[in-house]
Structure 1
Amino acid sequence: MSEQNKRVVLAYVDAFNRADLDAVCAAFAPDALIHGALGWGGLDIARPIWSDLMRCFQVSLEVDAMVAEGDTVVVRYTERGRSVAPFRGGAVTGKDYQLVAMEWFVVKEGHIERRWGARDSASMFRQMDLTPP
């Protein structure tokens, strides 16, 4: 089961890197609960945040480590991006950022039911010379 759950998370990562928002959301159960640096809630809350991150910062996730046990999958990434469009009324700087990010997932029946994300958003905005929202 752990290997199958890793594949679900890797499909989410692949979809995120392709900026395929529909595929990202399809990786989640309809009633998933998603916790992140910019808010928490269901897909109705996460989807517009992910859309902004993809559009404004061209976020890409490189898996550095992944551990799975039972229905839990934990991933450490190198996250990279660039300021290419205004984010929540901010400027566009064209500057890059890179940081370590971690996500903890609960996967059941082939879908992500819970996700917690941790990243240094302050560092992300500082590296791009942007004011955090």
Structure 2
Amino acid sequence: MTTKEIITAYYDAFNRGDTDAMCALLASDVAHHVNEGSVRHGIDAFREFSAHMTACYKETLTDIVIFVEGDRAAAEFTVNGAYLADDDGLPPANGQTYKLPGGAFFALKDGKITRVTTYYNLSDWIAQVAG
């Protein structure tokens, strides 16, 4: 698969809620840099984070545009979500919906994603769910 095909497959799996398919695209030592959080290393940490996110949020990404330069990629997208369960340090959840722009950066090696760095505007998200 090309870099663009790998990133496209990653987001297709995300939108299906298929963590196993996402993990199949990751290097075993993947570095996952989450917005406003610490770096998680390895597929097990990625899977744990994904399980937490699935419990608290239901998200679909639209308007995805992928940019590729060699073994690096970037994506811009719209996050369409619902806040399902309280997440530590954030406002209470009661199914609030939100829509905000987001982006991610990727590094790849030998056909696997070695780094995922995700960004969105947390203040915008809080304003939308706090009502």
Q: Same fold (TM over 0.5)?
A: yes
Alpha-carbon offset, residue 81 of structure 1: 0.5
Number of corresponding residues: 128
Task: Give per-residue Cα distances to partners, 1:21-60, cap 9 Å, x unaligned.
Answer: 1111111100111111132121333322222222321111
- Separation (CA, whole Å) in 2 of partners of 1:19 and 1:88: 22
Code of the aligned partner of 1:39: S
- Separation (CA, whole Å) in 2 of partners of 1:49 and 1:122: 21
Gaps of 5+ in 2: none
- Separation (CA, whole Å) in 2 of partners of 1:40 and 1:88: 17
Matching residue of 2:39: 40
1:9-88 alignment runs, 5 A limit: 9-37=7-35, 38-42=37-41, 43-88=43-88
Alpha-carbon offset, residue 64 of structure 1: 3.3
Matching residue of 1:105: 106
- Separation (CA, whole Å) in 1 of partners of 2:119 and 2:40: 15
- What TM-score do you get using the length of structure 1 for normalisation? 0.84
Runs of 4+ aligned structure 1 residues displaced above 6 Å come to none
Q: What secondary structure, in the 3-state scheme, does the structure 2 residue paired with 1:94 have?
A: coil
